Structure 1
Amino acid sequence: MRIAQHPVLIRIFRSWHEGISDEELYEVMRGVWMLGERRELVELAFAVANGVVCEVYRVLSWPPAGSTPYHARPHSDVSIDGSWEFVGEGAGPHERHRYKGMDVSEWFEKGSSNPILYVNIG
């Protein structure tokens, strides 16, 4: 099985809370992000809360933000010009076992407010 060479870590610190449902977490994770063309290399997206990977998603595509339906989030939150959202699914058991629970807090620069971090952890 091939492991992603270009995952993206996405900090969801403002939206994450104890008891967040799987659907809410997916919708918080998948959009809305200001990203460049590098997004097209991403195979996995890691949801990071409090410095720890709390979920792993396989990215299938990157449509413009607001172009796919959301069910647990108001549409007004997701239609931002020039931004992107991913369509995906939960990663497989091997990837989830390998990455879920991983402490990545030191990978983000101190004081950085950017929620996006591309990494190469093959």
Structure 2
Amino acid sequence: MKPEDVRITEPAILLVLNRTYRQGMSGEELYEITRGNWRIKPERWPAQPRYAIGIAQMIVVSVFEIESWTEDKSGRVSFIGKPAPELEHYLGKSVRLQKGGKKSEVLRINLLAITSDPNPENR
């Protein structure tokens, strides 16, 4: 059965977890791969997302509320957050209609709907 398509309406970032996600992961494992080490610059965004939504193969697999961001010595960032039960209705749904244009590891939505290319030279 094909997953239902949804459009996320909250200020959020979609984080692509295709390389790290596997079925049956614990909540803690999902948190760790979703918060990740991303090559992004949240301080340059026009607004800050309230939520981080992990997707694998365009299906929502995790939802977290972002409390803050941390940066490591290499310049990669991770968020610190907590589960977002108010967004659990998105779990298992397809966000394929939200994805646009070129492939990216992060899609900001409701923050001007601009994608962030994982290649820093293209930002």
Give how far 1:95 is off: 2.1
Q: Which runs of 5+ in 1 are unaligned?
A: 66-79
> Does residue 89 of structure 1 match 2:72?
no
Q: Hey, what's the Cα distance between the residues in 1 that align with 2:77 and 2:28?
A: 18
Q: Hey, what's the Cα distance between the residues in 1 that align with 2:102 and 2:107?
A: 14
* Among candidates 88, 105, 111, match of residue 115 of structure 1: 105
Change (3 A) 1:95 1:18: closer
Q: Hey, what's the Cα distance between the residues in 2 that align with 1:39 and 1:62?
A: 16
Q: Which runs of 5+ in 2 are unaligned?
A: 1-7, 112-123
Change (3 A) 1:118 1:39: same
Q: Hey, what's the Cα distance between the residues in 1 that align with 2:84 and 2:46?
A: 17
TM-score by length of 1: 0.72
Higher helix share: 1
Alignment deviations for residues 64-90 of structure 1 (CA, whole Å, 9 cap, x no partner): 13xxxxxxxxxxxxxx61110000000
Alignment partner, residue 62 of structure 2? 55
Q: Which moved more, 1:55-64 or 1:101-110?
A: 101-110
**8 Å Cα contact 2:34/2:62 also seen in 1:** no
Give how far 1:54 is off: 1.2
> Does residue 7 of structure 1 match 2:7?
no
Give how far 1:53 is off: 0.8
Alignment deviations for residues 41-80 of structure 1 (CA, whole Å, 9 cap, x no partner): 0100001011111111000000113xxxxxxxxxxxxxx6
Q: How many residues end up aligned between the 2 structures?
A: 102
Identical positions, percent = 29
